[in-house]
Chain A
Amino acid sequence: MTSNRATSAGLPNVLLTHGLLIVFVILAIGPILTVIMNSFKTTQGIFTGPFVPPTAETFNLQGYENVFKRGEFFLNYQNSLIVTIATTLLVIVLATAAAWALTEYKVRIAPLLAGFFIIGIMLPIRLGTVPILKTMISWGIIDTLLALILVYTAMTLPLAVALMMTYFRSVPTELKEAARIDGAGEFRTLGIAVPIVRPGIAAVASITMLPVWNDLWFPLILAPSRENQTVTLGVQQFVGQFQSDYPALLAALTLGAVPLILLFTVFSRQFIQGLSAGYGK
């Protein structure tokens, strides 16, 4: 719809817009590409020409070998995957149920409860770390992935509930009433509404995954031991330990960054939709 206006804009305008955006893109992804490219080079190659692509002479996979030999990358990935997937599934189920109820059953406490969840979008959960730590110790789940999953679920639920509520409001009343007249219970009726809010579920999933995967604070405090480390904490510790092994350091950074870039590129539409719809109100 805006594209037909392009014809009225002058060519210099078009070139200037593209030019500025390209400069921004280079600034945004240049540093990342530089690191990825140099992770495939020898130490010599990294320092003599940081912006030169690997040549036959400087190409080297020693960094990756060292990372897999000395780090625990497979274990770290496994931990991050378990925590991220479990949290995301839990948040989707709980937020869908809660948002359904908060939009569907219009009793007096419903808006109050909805407000109580929405306040949580702004609550800085990290500041409750001391009691969280005490709870986890007394429950005997300190230094487990379960501790992380519970905290991340609490952390990401408010935004997920707020988002799902905006989607449930768009479900036509006739559809729900028809289901109920046909004798469907409340669970069945929800089941019939879910396919309509599928875009909302995708938005919730994409907006939940990133902060959970990337967090450093809670893994550091609630699951710091070697066998429970997530990728973010693993990279942090690895880089701290092998400061001078540049190929390994760059390889570790690449291994930490690439899966997320791929994930985001696939889900960018849902993510951006979730971000703007969730905070936008």
Chain B
Amino acid sequence: MKRTAASYRNLILFVLPALAIYVAFSVYPLISSVVLSFFDSDGPVGSVFVGFENYVFLFTNEATSERFWNALGNNVVFFLIHLVVEVPVGLLMAALLTSGVLRRSTGVYRTLLFIPATLSVVIVGFIWRLIISPLWGIVSFPLLGNEVTALPTISLMSVWQYVGIPMIFLYTALLAIPGDILEAARIDGSTGWSTFWRIKFPLIAPQFGLIAILTYIWTFNGFDIVYALNGSAPGPNYSTDILGTLFYRTFFGSSGQVANLDLGATVASVIFFIILVTTAAYFWVLQRRLKTYEL
């Protein structure tokens, strides 16, 4: 009994500093943001509870709702391009690194392939804008200046930067496969290609779920590369506007738009909700799947 009391005291003592900062600057702001979205603080009498009025305004006001749906649609495209290009390329890289034919060069390749992911998005954006600039003559078409090609171009710049992350996750998973399984496969006459698809791939499959959900969270939090290249009202004609830039513009203001903290908190809450629902659904499905495997 006395031991438990001492344990509680020690636990609190050691955890409290970390907990305080984490709650004050991460958990509380997120909750507070949702609370704020139900208030109107611009009125003459201070903060007034307005229910869902900010949400109704966001979704029904002609100007704001058009911008919102456009940004959401663009964000979905931004996410899908990441998923469809980044994961297969990362898988191929990881498969090559762990194929067993490399000797000491694995570490060198791994480090070099990951370098883009260590750079600032700002630098990545500008490097690519220079390289594809028609002025430089490698690409003669203004990829960033066209409404159809601008968003895929920016997405692919981001893919180029972050492909190292799925590569590392899959590489680690492939390395974790017990050697005797592969040895048994080899003795049974299985060769490189079929060993990969029939034995290694099913074993690392759970990693794809993790990669997909992390990519989802990261892309729906995206902002830096679009802002760095195209500013807070990303053109041409908002074709590269995503939820992050819409959020920034709403609470911080930009040319042609007045800053509105309440509406900003509303946009943030909607993004939070979009992320939360999908993440919760993912973990729910994951839990059910794991249960059926255990049976």
B15–A113 contact, CB under 8 A? yes
Residue B127 is within 8 A (CB to CB) of chain A in the complex:
yes
Q: Are A31 and B11 in contact (CB under 8 A)?
A: no
What chain A residues lie within 8 Å of B33 (beta carbons)? 127-131
Distance, CA A256 to CA B98, complexed state (A): 33
CA distance A122 to B215 in the complex (A): 11
Q: Assess whether B116 is in contact with A128, with CB atoms less than 8 Å apart.
A: no
Are A232 and B26 within 8 A (Cβ)?
no
The distance in angstroms between the C-alpha atoms of A253 and B7, with both chains bound, is 52
Instruction: Decide: A2 and B100 in contact? CB cutoff 8 A.
Output: yes
Within 8 A of A (CB), among B7-47: 7-8, 10-11, 13-15, 17-19, 21-22, 24-30, 32-33, 36
The answer to whether B114 touches A13 (Cβ under 8 A) is no
> What is the minimal beta-carbon distance from A129 to any residue of chain B, in angstroms?
7
Chain B 147-164: CB-based contact to A (< 8 A → 1; otherwise 0): 000000000000010001
> Out of B18, B220, B227, which one reaches A216, CB within 8 Å?
B227
Q: Given A131-B32, A132-B25, does the pair A265, B103 have CB atoms closer than 8 Å?
A: no
Residues of A within 8 A of B119 (CB): 32, 214, 257, 260-261
The answer on a CB contact under 8 Å between A98 and B21 is no
A81 on the B face (CB < 8 A): no
A-contacting residues, B92-138, CB 8 Å: 92-93, 96-103, 105, 107, 109-116, 118-123, 126-128, 130-131, 135-138
In the complex, chain B residues whose CB is within 8 Å of the CB of A132: 25, 29
Inter-chain contacts of A135 with B (CB < 8 A)? 24-25, 29
The residue in chain A whose Cβ has the minimal distance to the Cβ of B105 is A18
Chain B residues near A181: list those with CB within 8 A: none
From B59-67, B70-78, B260-268, the one touching the partner chain is B260-268
The answer to whether B168 and A150 touch across the interface, beta carbons within 8 angstroms, is no
Best-buried of B29, B227, B264, B275 by chain A (most CB within 10 Å): B29
Residues of chain B contacted by A56 (CB below 8 angstroms): none
Nearest to B120 among chain A residues (CB) is A214
Nearest-neighbour CB distance to chain B for A161, whole angstroms, equals 7
- Within 8 Å by CB of A124, from B96, B98, B252, B271, lies B271
Contact (Cβ within 8 A) A117 B22: yes
Q: A47-B135, A107-B4 are in contact. Are A20 and B114 (CB under 8 A)?
A: no
Q: Is B221's beta carbon under 8 Å from chain A?
A: yes
With A127-B33, A213-B120, A261-B118 in contact, is A5–B26 under 8 Å at CB? no
Measured CB to CB, the nearest residue on chain B to A234 is B122
- Name the residue of chain A whose CB is nearest to the CB of B4: A107
Please, which residues of chain A bring their CB within 8 A of the CB of B168? 272, 275-276
Kindly state the separation between the CA atoms of A260 and B112 in the bound complex, as whole angstroms: 13
Total residues of chain B contacting the partner, CB 8 A: 90
The answer on a CB contact under 8 Å between B21 and A105 is no
> Of A3, A17, A101, A157, which one neighbours B14 at CB under 8 angstroms?
A101
Inter-subunit contact A217/B223 (CB<8 Å): yes
Q: Which of B36, B127, B192, B269 makes the CB contact (< 8 A) with A253?
A: B127
Instruction: Give per-residue flags for A105-120: 1 if the beta carbon is below 8 A from chain B beta carbons, else 0.
Output: 1110110010001001
Task: Report Cα–Cα, A178/B148, bound state, in Å.
Answer: 68
Residue B238 at the A interface, CB < 8 A?
A: no
Are B101's CB and A109's CB within 8 A? no
Contacting residues, chain B, for A120 (C-beta < 8 A): 22, 26-27
Q: Is the CB of A122 within 8 A of B123?
A: no
A102 touches B15 (CB 8 A): yes
Q: Answer whether residue B172 sits at the interface, using C-beta atoms and an 8 A cutoff.
A: yes
B contacts, CB < 8 Å to A = 4, 7-8, 10-11, 13-15, 17-19, 21-22, 24-30, 32-33, 36, 92-93, 96-103, 105, 107, 109-116, 118-123, 126-128, 130-131, 135-138, 160, 164-165, 168-169, 172, 179, 186, 192, 210, 214, 217, 220-221, 223-224, 227-228, 244, 247-248, 251-252, 261, 264-265, 268-269, 271-272, 275, 279
With A157-B26, A257-B123, A276-B172 known, 16 other A-B pairs at CB within 8 A are: A2-B98, A5-B186, A6-B103, A13-B101, A25-B112, A31-B131, A32-B119, A35-B127, A95-B18, A105-B7, A124-B30, A130-B264, A130-B265, A131-B36, A131-B265, A275-B165
Q: Closest 5 CB pairs between A and B?
A: A128-B29, A101-B14, A154-B25, A276-B172, A98-B18
